Structure 1
């Protein structure tokens, strides 16, 4: 083990700012500020350093992890290019995990309903929005295109544009002080008080300049971009989900991935305490540990995803054997497209088969009788079917990634 001191990285600067608590404001639980909150006259904010031209130096152990992560991601990307459905599975897994970190839990059936626009729980809609934001943010850097502020704001709009509590703030940097943890009403007892609003836009410009450099490791760059974004906390809400999406955007811009999204959030979810500890360490000047942490998360996620690739590859022949469809029939075409589109309503099914509605319903019935599809709707209208094996793989992939990390003793 490398026992040398960690390479230096600029830590946050702490500044005291005046604070006044409105004693009449009411929180979501109906309670007013406590006496200690009402007595607050100042808060200590943390202002991140400018990093646009900073040198990221890491230990020899971390260099080895970075190289191993690059190999694992390259291998996963190669599998995805020859296997339909893997990229979609990874996005779905990442969206579910990144939402769970924010305590947003979506049932798989509800997630399927929300995917096709059917009525579903709010948590499922939020998870679908996270997947859309993640996909858009990553796609914005396809082919090495620069990461832009407009793309970050657009991702935030996709994430929270339909949220009743946050839609007024979606797609814009915050104009108010925020904080992490503590009370809903004041920063009292909070874990992190980010910089005041006037610092946000300049710090984000600085972060984007760093994110678009090509003179450092892609994995190290992704780790620093994520941690710096969380230190800035530029939005009123959604910072974690957008910030974790930046990891994939940086890796895509640098060409380490071309179509896959590494589900690193599943590793973070498995031990959120360690994840948050590394973000804290980054703010205190330890970028090396943050980079090593992301590299390990990427390795574990990529290796677990390769197992999923093997499972997905086996499904199509299994389905064909179970259904025995005539070549080029509606059922045959439906099976061919099911890995990419494992959640179906009649419109999606028609798009897969290219057949008349009657033939398509016959194919849906055949696949359901063979237990390739399971119907999760009730009644004769707005029917929804899912390829249960694919949806189950989403949950199992998250669990496989998680077992590579020590489970948290504090997180419930």
Structure 2
């Protein structure tokens, strides 16, 4: 582990190559009784963040590695036998998968928000509902309390915003309660569900 920590401090090799080798070395050491796989994949994202390649997002590189598990495990075996080339190839493919799938996800989420804006076309531009819109991609399930705490709306503003979004068909109720109704943006949830399904192991 000491050698691995020293390797992580180096700045004279490409970051993605450093990620691939550090991940494989950690998976070879396997310092814990359980959770080595999850920790090793989390290490990738920690390196990307530390090196400034992904300071505001978490690209799904680990999901890319697990997208083709047989190829991934074969590459780890080859690494342990002294051949790092298959690992670098698999890691490169995982990064490409992360970039392409992440870009497609952003495109689809933007399309959902654009559609919601169209639904709100007749609403006054100073209405509180417009302050809610940017939050929906990250939080497609909301209620009045969330809008008050996260968006800073008053209770009347939050209630009006939710009613407006429901009236135009952007939100639907998840429960039948008269108070504390929970609302969802079904279009955004469908996009996220499809994205998650595409990340499943093969």
TM range (shorter): 0.7 to 0.9
Alignment of 1:21-32 (within 5 A): none
Give yes or no for the alignment of 1:241 onto 2:38. yes
Match of 1:326 among 124, 131, 137: 124
Give yes or no for the alignment of 1:367 onto 2:162. no
Residue number in structure 1 paired with 2:187: 389
Normalising to structure 2: TM-score of the pair? 0.85
Residue number in structure 2 paired with 1:266: 63
Contact 2:20 2:91 in 1 (8 A): yes
Contact 1:330 1:363 in 2 (8 A): yes
Residue number in structure 2 paired with 1:297: 94
- 1:340 shift after superposition: 3.4
What SS class does the counterpart of residue 278 from structure 1 fall into?
A: helix
Normalising to structure 1: TM-score of the pair? 0.45
Residue number in structure 2 paired with 1:179: none
Match of 1:309 among 88, 91, 106: 106
Alignment of 1:18-57 (within 5 A): none
1:345 & 1:237 partners in 2: Cα distance?
38
- Which consecutive residues of structure 2, in runs of 5 or more, have no partner in the other structure? none
- 1:214 shift after superposition: 0.5
2:92 & 2:150 partners in 1: Cα distance?
38
Residue number in structure 2 paired with 1:253: 50
Larger Rg: 1
What is the CA deviation profile of residues 360-411 of structure 1, one whole-angstrom value per residue up to 9, with x for unaligned ones?
1222122133332233345346543332222322233345567xxxx84xxx
1:216 & 1:353 partners in 2: Cα distance?
43
- 1:329 shift after superposition: 1.5
Structure with the largest fraction of helix: 2
What SS class does the counterpart of residue 124 from structure 2 fall into?
A: coil
Give yes or no for the alignment of 1:232 onto 2:29. yes
1:274 & 1:293 partners in 2: Cα distance?
7
2:67 & 2:16 partners in 1: Cα distance?
20
Give yes or no for the alignment of 1:344 onto 2:138. no
- 1:352 shift after superposition: 4.7
Residue number in structure 1 paired with 2:74: 277
Residue number in structure 2 paired with 1:220: 17
Q: Give RMSD over aligned pairs.
A: 2.4
- 1:330 shift after superposition: 2.0
Residue number in structure 2 paired with 1:56: none
Contact 1:230 1:239 in 2 (8 A): yes
- Describe the shift of the 1:274–1:381 C-alpha distance in structure 2 as closer, same or farther (beyond 3 A): farther
Contact 1:331 1:353 in 2 (8 A): no
